[in-house]
Amino acid sequence: MYKFLKWFLFWCVLWLSLPARAALDPALLAPFAGDDSAAKADAVTALANTPDPLVDALYKALSEDSLFTLPDGQVIVFDGEKYIDAATGGALTTEPEAPESVIVNNVVRGALESAVALRGLAAADPAARLAAADALKERADPSFLPALEAALEKETDAAVKEALSRTTALLQLVSPDKAVKLAAIERLSVSRDRNIREALAPLAEAETDSELKAAFKTALDAIDFRLSVANFFTNVFSGLSLGSILLLAALGLAITFGLMGIINMAHGEMLMLGAYSTYVVQGLFRDYLPGAVDWYPLAALPVAFLVAAGVGAIMERTVIRHLYGRPLETLLATWGLSLILIQAVRSIFGPQNVEVANPVWMSGALDLYGVVLPYNRLVIIGFAFFVLAIVWFALNRTRMGLYVRGVMQNRPMADAIGVPTARVDMMAFALGSGIAGLGGVALSQIGNVGPELGQAYIIDSFMVVVLGGVGQLAGTVVAALGLGEINKFLEPYAGAVLAKIAVLVLIILFIQKRPSGLFALKGRSAES
């Protein structure tokens, strides 16, 4: 019955369209009246090679959901004012009754995009042609080949030519002509695209001709090599990125724990405060400076620094000051402070994660020979080294830094020659906390911002400082970057969780060998 109806409709369409001197083949339009989306997609593809403006109108209508069918099977386009017949372009004389919209699902949309792209190759603007050629990279029907070859012949723009020749070569792989096929394989062997490798592999498997098989193998090997190189550098980059995040998380701790010897378990919460400061600044920018909202992270930097440094100074004055020389007690007290800070943030901002958005200039990615470098990661790598430079400068090139180092090396002596040791302690702890606040701004750009943010980083931060060697900035840097790289290179083999466990176990074993870290301070004093 259904089949009969379909036939009936089909003949109806034919019969209706014949007297109107059809400009488009009605058989190609018939599927639009049906429910079979695969058939619709095929029809879209088949129409692509028909150089008729009516096809463009049909495509436009399809993409704008203004293509309709009538109960009698006629396909009509609504052009915004009136209904016109899709096959002939003639306006309908009477207002149609019960037009039904043609449903466009993903299958149809995919076919539509590549068909529109094929026709877009004729555009005068090179940018439009490039966009069309890029769209065809994703998907091109074998029937497009002659049109593509013709377009390639005419093309003058290098970028469009490159994209087109790739797509053409992919379609030519199944050509019966051996020379064409060889040229196509040759052409594709310079690719570094995983999709092309996947397209080539089954063809290589099925190939019987020995010369072609050898060509396939050479091409696949070349692509594999390029892929593995790109993969290697992607790993290097991810490792560097993770390392810079660890560095940002650990730099503040390198001061409070590394230099001052305070087991600051609330360090993670300083990161968290920095991230929440970013959130607040973002909200203020949205409310009062919507035009400059893209630059809120820059404004968040001093705010986060001051908030974290302020909280750090208060902590030092009220609690930590009383516990110098009792490291284990410091550990417990600062853990208690961290619980209070977490609960305070939870009470103020709620227990859920808050939303911190990347500004536009940090979204997107740079594609460098197949290695994808997201901008926010690049910015954070740069920022990590910027903060490192600040810390280094503050400690080694300022009077304050001189005091800090002096007090940490020999407190009674520094006290005796007039260094205000209590104030130096407070300033140093505030500096370390403030640096952690800066790290928090960066962390807010790549992960969730919630009350537990600090807890996720505290163990990693301590691992970095312990591994690097207490009191050594260089050690902290090497440890952070090293841990980042090791983690990312283990991940493909072991998975993320096992890689992390392996790294923790490696650190535990490493500390057996070098109890004072990678870069141990050389000194003559025996351990107490």
Partner 1 sequence: MIESQAMIERRLFSPLGWTLFTIIVVLGLTMPLLHVFVPEGSTFHVSAYTLTLVGKILCYAAVALAMDMVWGYAGILSLGHGLFFALGGYAFGMYLMRQIGRDGQYQSALPDFMVFLDWKELPWYWAGTDSFLWALVLVVAVPGIVAYVFGWFAFRSRIKGVYFSIITQALTFAAMLLFFRNDTGFGGNNGFTDFKRILGFPIAAAETRAVLFALTVAYVAGILVFCRWLTQSKFGRVLAAIRDAESRTMFVGYDPLPYKLGVWTLSAVLCGIAGALYVPQVGIINPSEMSPANSIEIAIWTAIGGRGTLIGPLLGAGIVNGAKSWFTVSFPDLWLYVLGALFVISTLFLPRGVMGLLGKTPWGKKA
**In whole angstroms, what is the distance from residue 364 CA to residue 375 CA?**
6
Minimum CB distance to partner 1 smaller for 281 or for 463: 463
Per the structure block, which two tokens stand in for 469?
């060697």
CB atoms within 10 A of CB 427: 18
Q: Write down the least CB distance from residue 425 to partner 1, Å.
A: 17
Minimum CB distance to partner 1 smaller for 145 or for 331: 331
Q: How far is CA 460 from CA 272, 329, 388, 409, in A?
A: 15, 21, 18, 26
**In whole angstroms, what is the distance from residue 274 CA to residue 443 CA?**
9
Q: Across the chain, how many H-helices and E-strands are there?
A: 21, 6
Minimum CB distance to partner 1 smaller for 419 or for 511: 511
Q: Write down the least CB distance from residue 151 to partner 1, Å.
A: 51
Minimum CB distance to partner 1 smaller for 251 or for 441: 251
- Angle value at C-alpha 401, between 397 and 405, nearest 5 degrees: 120
Q: Provide the binding-site residues for partner 1, judged by CB under 8 A.
A: 263, 265, 319, 322-323, 326-333, 335-340, 342-343, 346-347, 455, 458-459, 462-463, 466, 497-498, 500-501, 504-505, 507-509, 511-513, 515, 526-527
Minimum CB distance to partner 1 smaller for 5 or for 498: 498
Q: Write down the least CB distance from residue 258 to partner 1, Å.
A: 12
Q: Write down the least CB distance from residue 503 to partner 1, Å.
A: 9
Q: Write down the least CB distance from residue 508 to partner 1, Å.
A: 6
The string of DSSP codes covering 323-347 is GTT-HHHHHHHHHHHHHHHHHHHHH
**In whole angstroms, what is the distance from residue 369 CA to residue 352 CA?**
40
Minimum CB distance to partner 1 smaller for 240 or for 342: 342
**In whole angstroms, what is the distance from residue 58 CA to residue 47 CA?**
10
The string of DSSP codes covering 488-527 is HHHHHHH-HHHHHHHHHHHHHHHHHH-TT-SSPPP--PPP
**Collapsed DSSP state (helix, strand, coil) of residue 77:** strand
Q: How far is CA 33 from CA 54, 69, 72, 100, in A?
A: 17, 6, 9, 9
Minimum CB distance to partner 1 smaller for 28 or for 337: 337
Beta pairing class for 100-101 and 67-69: antiparallel
Q: Write down the least CB distance from residue 514 to partner 1, Å.
A: 9
Minimum CB distance to partner 1 smaller for 174 or for 508: 508
**Neighbouring-strand partners of residue 67:** 77
Query: Which residue, 170, 172, 151, 192, is CA-closest to 48?
Result: 151
CB atoms within 10 A of CB 30: 23
Minimum CB distance to partner 1 smaller for 193 or for 452: 452
Q: Write down the least CB distance from residue 408 to partner 1, Å.
A: 16
Per the structure block, which two tokens stand in for 201?
């592999």
Please tell me the total number of residues recorded for the chain in this structure.
528
Q: Write down the least CB distance from residue 344 to partner 1, Å.
A: 8
Q: Write down the least CB distance from residue 455 to partner 1, Å.
A: 7
Q: Write down the least CB distance from residue 376 to partner 1, Å.
A: 26
Minimum CB distance to partner 1 smaller for 244 or for 264: 264
**In whole angstroms, what is the distance from residue 323 CA to residue 425 CA?**
12
